[in-house]
Chain A
Amino acid sequence: MGAVRIPPIAFGLGCVALCFCAVEAMLAIGVLNQFVIPFPSAVLGAFGRLFAEEQLLHRLLVTGAEALAASLLVIGFSIGGGILLHKHRILRLATESWIAAAAAAPIVLAYPLFLVIFGRSSATIVAMGFVAGLAPALLKTLEGFQAVRKTLLNVGHSYNLSSGQLFWKIQFPAAIPTIFTGIRLGLIFTLINLIGVEFLINFGGLGQLINDLAERYDLPGVFATIIFVILVSVVLFSALEWIERWLRPSR
């Protein structure tokens, strides 16, 4: 298994390295403007400074804690809401298209409203992240429950399962793959909005750092932080995949 996974990872890293070299070369010969795009070598060099002077790890923890809070809210409310909408047809018919609209709306623009409600605090950031991720995750969760095959439910009925058993033994495990797709989708929105709002209100962890560095025209620092954010989200989604495999081992 391990051996099978090495080539794609090596290929991916190789491509990234190649791009870095290409950009480095183009900056050196002046095809790209070095006042707009920093040297990749300088970006990599900035990491040491970010860890030492800008408390990158501490900021990671701040953003991480906010992300965790918002994610847990998204997961809880999307699964709870999904079950509710699945069970109550009227509620579903009344709200589904609104939720779909909300999923497509640029909710980040509503940040002043949240500022008024929660103040310039972590609460605003968590709330924005939560609101942005909820709608897509909720829609997918609902879809997961709605799409459980009739025959599997009939198997449950034929064994006279109680409605609780039917849910936990059949509906929920059958819906897990779709629910996870939804959660992954939702958490992408959550993370984007979370860091975006940190940037906008200049408060909190990594988003604020990007804002600070940009104001100081520290381009290598900005790019390094962005790369760091990308790495964090890669780790986050790998972890999510791992949890999914653990929850539902079959393909």
Chain B
Amino acid sequence: MSGSHSEDETDMRASSAKLRLAADTTDEIDLVIQDVSMRFNTREGTVTAVDGVSFEIKRGEFVSIIGPSGCGKSTVFNILGGLVGGYDGSVVVGGERISGPHASIGMVFQEESTFPWRTVIDNVAFPLEVKGVPKTERYAVARKFIDMVGLTGFEQRYPSELSGGMRQRVAIARTLVFEPKILLMDEPFAALDEQTRVLLGDKVLKIQQDLRQTTLLITHNITEAVQLSDRVLIMTFRPGKVKRIVDIHLPRPRQGDVVGSDAFGRYVAEIWNDLREEASRGMAEAEDSARLRGA
């Protein structure tokens, strides 16, 4: 009995130490996703898109999520943005549990999201417009961000007159323009060529560092994840779980040229190993189900 008593005591001490640790860092932690699961009912039955995902992001930290297609990345993105309900678990932003979109979160969507009826500048100035910022002022701010994404000279064009990559840059500028404290991006650079991707990544990173923005980037691209992130979170193929979190200890400020370093290559190889496993599991499953359907 007495033995177990002392065991209890140590347990308690350990957990209070943990509590203290948690208390020390709560100010610092900006975003907590706690044991989140999400199921979709489809014609073929229930699909578990996300299964018990937990992680935290500290204030000013840059975290990437990487994982095979269909592993639930966008689902996590929508849950964090407060755009979908009906999931298990909880999401805490800046200390409060969210039940809808949070004012300090800015989102860049995976799908085409520019407004086709607005010019580039009116697209970018949109968040300021709805906040009631006067026209000249919001145009001035919008111009700065249009310049940042390299679209100066295209202010008066409509999205239909731009390429897919240019439209995506408009969407990025539109989200950055209201300087959100927390930035969520779902494959924002997917439609860009490698060079533009690296250069734009640099710029986003610079803004992120200047504003100390808490950033979550969802991507397929390992190079991009390692170039930009403090941590890279690898997800498993369906159901989407957190497979591993890799800390990236590369010096900051980082420039695009970090991509050439040895350490960089090692991180890429490490993440690629984990991902290949998941991707091939995904492919195998797809082939299996195709064979089943064929039979």
Contacts and interface: CB of A to CB of B under 8 A. Distances in A.
B154 to A, nearest CB: 14
Nearest to B157: A250
A154 interface: yes
Given A170-B115, A249-B117, A159 B160 contact: no
B81 A158 contact: yes
A165 interface: yes
B272 interface: no
Interface residues of B, number: 25
A174 B113 CA distance: 12
B106 A161 contact: no
Contact of B160 (A152, A154, A155, A251): A251
B115 A152 contact: yes
A87 interface: no
Given A165-B130, A169-B130, A176 B117 contact: yes
B116 A154 contact: no
Contacts of B159: 250
A71 to B, nearest CB: 23
Interface in A147-162: 149, 151-152, 154-155, 157-161
B111 to A, nearest CB: 4
A250 B158 contact: yes
A173 interface: yes
Interface in A126-185: 149, 151-152, 154-155, 157-161, 165, 169-170, 173-174, 176
A159 B116 CA distance: 18
Q: Is the interface of A mostly helix, strand, loop or mixed?
A: helix
Interface in B228-272: none
Nearest to B159: A250
A155 B112 CA distance: 11
B117 A248 contact: yes
B103 interface: yes
Given A160-B101, A250-B158, A154 B109 contact: yes
Contacts, number: 58
B130 A161 contact: yes
Interface string B89-109: 000000000001101011101
Given A151-B109, A151-B111, A250 B117 contact: yes
B150 interface: no
A249 B111 contact: no
Contacts of A152: 113, 115
B127 interface: yes
Contacts of A176: 117
Interface in B160-178: 160, 178
Contacts of A165: 130
Contact of A251 (B107, B130, B158): B158
B105 A158 contact: yes
A165 B81 CA distance: 19
A159 to B, nearest CB: 5
Contact of B103 (A151, A160, A170): A160
B113 A155 contact: yes
Given A160-B103, A161-B130, A154 B83 contact: yes
A250 B116 CA distance: 7
B117 A174 contact: yes
A250 B160 CA distance: 7
Contacts of B113: 151-152, 154-155
Contact of B130 (A149, A159, A248): A159
Interface in A36-68: none
Contacts of B83: 154, 157-158
Contacts of A155: 107, 109, 113, 115
A36 B130 CA distance: 64
B158 A151 contact: no
Of A149, A155, A158, A173, most B-chain CB atoms within 10 Å: A158
B115 A173 contact: yes
16 contacts: A151-B109, A152-B113, A152-B115, A154-B81, A154-B113, A157-B83, A158-B107, A159-B101, A159-B130, A160-B103, A169-B130, A173-B115, A174-B117, A250-B117, A250-B160, A251-B158
Given A158-B107, A159-B130, A174-B117, 18 more contacts: A151-B112, A151-B113, A152-B113, A152-B115, A155-B107, A155-B113, A157-B81, A157-B82, A157-B100, A158-B105, A160-B101, A165-B130, A169-B130, A174-B115, A250-B117, A250-B159, A251-B158, A251-B160
Interface of A: 149, 151-152, 154-155, 157-161, 165, 169-170, 173-174, 176, 248-251
